[in-house]
Amino acid sequence: MPRWQPNPREQLTRAALSLFAERGYENTTVVNIVERAGLGKTTFFRYFRDKREVLFGADSPVDAAGEIAAAPAGTSPLEAVAAALDAAGAQAFTPDRRETLALRQSVIDTNPELQEREALKSIGLAAAMTDALRQRGFPDLTSSVAAELGTLTLRIAFDRWIAAANTADFATLARQVLSEVRAAAAQ
C-alpha cells in the first residue's frame, strides 16, 4: 500500500517552513528548500515566485467580504464579522493546519520585513471587511469600527489558537474573544 504523499505545494511549504525555523528565513535558499523536499527547482517555481511567496503567496482561503455579503438580512455589523470569523475557523484555521500555521507565525515573528508584510495583509482584510459592510448599507464609521474590531479579534483569537496549551477550536476562541473585545470597547 503506497504511503500517502502530500501534493508538491504542500511538500515545498513544509520543507521551507522547517528550514526557516531551523536556520532562519534569511539563511534559507530556494535550493535548500527543493533539496529538503526532494523536488526540483522547476517544480518550486511552478508554485512560488520566491521564498517569500511560500509564506504569503496563497490567496486567503477565506473570502471574508463574501461571508459578510452573504449574512442574512438584519444581521448586525459585528454579527456579520462574526460569521466571517466562523468561516475562517471552518475553512482556514482547521485542526490539521494548526501546526503548520504556528510554525509559519514563529518564522514571521523573527523578521521585521515579514512582520510588515503580515501587517499589510491585516490592513487589507480590514479594508475589505469595511467595504463589504458599507455595501450592506451600514454607515462608513460603523463599518470601519466593526471591521477593525473584527480584525483585532481575528489576531487575538489566532494567537490563542496557536498557543501550545490550547485545545479549543478556532471558531469557539473567536466568539469568546469577540465578546471580550465588545466588553472592552463598551468600557
Which chain residues interact with a copy of itself by CB under 8 A?
76-78, 116, 119-120, 123, 141-142, 144-146, 148-149, 152, 156, 177, 180-182, 184-187
Minimum distance, C-beta of residue 150 to a copy of itself, in the bound complex (Å): 11
SS3 182: helix
H helix runs in the chain, sequence order: 8-23, 30-37, 41-47, 51-56, 64-70, 77-91, 98-108, 112-135, 140-162, 170-186
Of 19 and 154, CB closest to a copy of itself: 154
Minimum distance, C-beta of residue 145 to a copy of itself, in the bound complex (Å): 4
Cβ atoms 26, 19 nearer than 8 A: no
Of 38 and 112, CB closest to a copy of itself: 112
Minimum distance, C-beta of residue 141 to a copy of itself, in the bound complex (Å): 5
Of 1 and 165, CB closest to a copy of itself: 165
Can you tell me the distance from the alpha carbon of 15 to that of 44, in angstroms, rounded to the nearest whole number? Answer: 11
Q: Alpha carbon of 99 to those of 102, 104, 163: distances in Å?
A: 5, 9, 10
Minimum distance, C-beta of residue 56 to a copy of itself, in the bound complex (Å): 14
Of 90 and 163, CB closest to a copy of itself: 163
Minimum distance, C-beta of residue 60 to a copy of itself, in the bound complex (Å): 18
Of 27 and 76, CB closest to a copy of itself: 76
Cβ atoms 177, 156 nearer than 8 A: yes
